[in-house]
Amino acid sequence: MLTNQRSCKCPKCNSSSATKVSLIYESGTVISTQTGGFSSSLNGDVIDRVHGKLHTKTQHTTKLAKRVAPPKRKEVGKAYKYGAVGSIISTAFIGRSLDLSRGLLLLMAIPTVAISVYCIKKKREVQAKYEQEVYLPEFRKWNDSFMCNQCGFIYELKMKRNKFINTDTRTMSIDQP
């Protein structure tokens, strides 16, 4: 079923038989679309005939695939998001409770927009930094990991960096017979 990617040695049992964890994950995760039909007919006066099709989409992940799932991308810099939203809400609140004139409100809107823009920019920056410094190395490590076919030990195999990283390992569909 699964093939060995390249020769490697398990640090635990010295076996050279191993499978790439991304392959285990892919083969253990399938999204299947099932189509079923239904039909019924009533001889009563309301419904004469009902027929249709049902589609169900299910993602199946085996226990083993769950164990070797790729790292999840996190959302970072939430404080900046709240900062952006908070500044808008507080301006609206102050404007309402003090019953400010339209001119004053417009004047207050300028720093509010500036704060929001700054916060959104900052949030993007920290997210990009996180992906570059945390997520990507984690993903690469996962992508270079192998599971020993003998003892099940997972280890990282250092190899020449591929230019291309397959990021779309989450979806794999099979056709229903």
Binding site for Zn ion (CB under 5 A): 10, 12-13, 15, 148, 150-151, 153
Parallel/antiparallel/unpaired status of strands 49-61 and 29-41:
antiparallel
How many CB atoms are closer than 10 A to CB 100? Answer: 15
Could you tell me the smallest distance in angstroms from the CB atom of residue 151 to Zn ion?
Answer: 3
User: With respect to Zn ion, which residue has the nearer C-beta, 64 or 76?
Assistant: 64
Could you tell me the smallest distance in angstroms from the CB atom of residue 8 to Zn ion?
Answer: 10
Q: Reduce the DSSP state of residue 43 to 3 states and report it.
A: coil
Could you tell me the smallest distance in angstroms from the CB atom of residue 138 to Zn ion?
Answer: 23
DSSP 48: S
Question: Using an 8 Å Cβ cutoff, are 39 and 56 in contact?
Answer: no
Could you tell me the smallest distance in angstroms from the CB atom of residue 61 to Zn ion?
Answer: 24
User: With respect to Zn ion, which residue has the nearer C-beta, 19 or 91?
Assistant: 19
Nearest partner of 143 among 129, 134, 131, 156, judged by Cα = 156
User: With respect to Zn ion, which residue has the nearer C-beta, 62 or 149?
Assistant: 149
Which residue shows structure tokens 């019924």? Answer: 40
User: With respect to Zn ion, which residue has the nearer C-beta, 84 or 147?
Assistant: 147
